Amino acid sequence: MRIDVVTIFPGYLDPLRHALLGKAIERGIMTVAVHDLRSWSHDVHRTVDDSPFGGGPGMVMVPTVWGPALDDVAALTGPAAESAPLETALAHKAAGPAVAGAGADGDGTTGSVTDGSGGEGSGREGDPGEGDGPGDDGATGRDDRPLLIVPTPAGAPFTQETAARWSTEDRLVFACGRYEGIDQRVVDDAAERYRVEEVSIGDYVLIGGEVAVLVMAEAVVRLIPGVLGNRASHEEDSFQDGLLEGPCYTRPRVWRGREVPDVLLSGDHAKVDRWRRDESLRRTVARRPELLDAVELDRRDREVLRGEGWGTPDGA
Ligand code: 6GU
């Protein structure tokens, strides 16, 4: 998978090089490039915003900068061909061949290395569109336009289901807005070259989309096969079965006088599974009762939930 991020604060995305993401880059599973939107500005002040039509507070990011930026990132032309992919922050680098231009010289720099990868000077002809519809490649019938993700508090909710869907994409492009937002025509026009999704990570307002991109990239990348060490470990995640995950414990068996629940030491796997299910149900009814509407509950589940006051006038 290749991830491109367009932002006026490239440094904000540096965490993408660390931990899980860094490991994915190291293994050649991921390529990540961050592009400074100001590379596409037209004036000495490198302006990217202007006051809103219709009045009101704040500033709106201008289409005359965002439009060409997204054209170039789609085709990996112009300034977009010049941003070297991020290198992993991990100490032991072993960049595979899938990481275009990253780490080949192993000097650990993240600066403005220009290897020309992806920049064949093909102008905007990188566009798909030889098939019947926009992005239809004619052979597979699949829409091969990259996915453009625009983080905004006005977007559709980003969920685990969204993360799973995006984890099978070849290319994700994130367009980070700041100020009051991006001129809507940018998003409408981008649909010519991209499949576009406007998404929100929750019901609160951030200053810009950068942190939301870190959140979403982490949720997506950990679902790509080979990124997490333990393949089974996301099958038991909160949300994977529609319930919140219950508590977990490790050694020592007694710590500050607090004991690990006996059942976990019993060696009885069926009993352990049932206990974990019960704890998931209890936690879910207490914290996120609305999630239960979408969960298939058997008789025993209902019994446990009733024990928590579920289904009574005062309960959930
Ligand atoms: Cl995705 N972006 C911004 N700027 N604020 C948000 C958000 C995204 N999700 C919740 N608040």
* Packed helices 269-287 and 299-307: angle between N→C axes, nearest 10 degrees: 50
Copy the structure tokens of residue 257. Answer: 């006088």
How much is the pLDDT for 18? 85
Distance, CA 152 to ligand 1 centroid (Å)? Answer: 4
| Radius of gyration for the chain, computed over Cα atoms and rounded to the nearest angstrom | 24
Partner residues linked to 35 by β-bridges: 6
Q: Given the CA of residue 212, which atom of ligand 1 is nearest to it?
A: 1
Walk across the sheet containing 195-200 and list its strands.
31-36, 2-7, 171-175, 147-157, 195-200
Positions marked active-site: 153, 180, 222, 237
Tokens of 139: 């052979």
242 or 313, greater pLDDT: 242
On the 0-12 / 13-18 / 19+ scale of CB atoms within 10 A, 58 is exposed
Section 201-215 average pLDDT: 97
Position 211, amino acid? V
Which residues partner with 196 through β-bridges? 148
Averaged over 29-49, what is the pLDDT? 96
The mean pLDDT value of the chain amounts to 85
Q: Kindly report the protein residue whose alpha carbon is nearest to atom 2 of ligand 1.
A: 152
Determine the pLDDT at residue 229: 67
Question: Which pLDDT value is given to residue 17?
Answer: 87
Q: What pLDDT shows up at residue 183?
A: 98
pLDDT digits (tens, 9 = 90+) for 252-278: 999 999 999 999 999 999 999 999 999
Residue type, 245: E
What atom in ligand 1 is closest to the CA of residue 207?
Answer: 4
- pLDDT recorded at residue 235: 63
Q: What is the per-residue pLDDT for 301?
A: 97
**Arithmetic mean of pLDDT, 47-52:** 98
Q: Which of 166, 172, 179, 200 to mutate to test the pocket of ligand 1 (most atoms within 8 A of CB)?
A: 200
Q: Mutation test of ligand 1: which of 197, 201, 218 has the most ligand atoms closer than 8 Å to its C-beta?
A: 201
Tell me which of 22-26, 40-44, 90-94, 215-219 is least confident.
90-94
Rounded to 5 degrees, φ, ψ at 33 are: -130, 140
Cβ–Cβ under 8 Å, residues 280 and 286: no
Could you tell me if the CB of 205 is within 6 A of ligand 1? yes
Counting Cβ atoms within 10 Å, is residue 225 exposed (0-12), middle (13-18) or buried (19+)? Answer: exposed
> How is the chain split among helix, strand and coil, in percent rounded to 5?
35, 15, 50
Q: How far, in Å, from the CA of 264 to the mean position of ligand 1?
A: 40
Q: Is the CB of 153 under 6 A from ligand 1?
A: yes
> Can you give the pTM of this predicted structure?
0.83
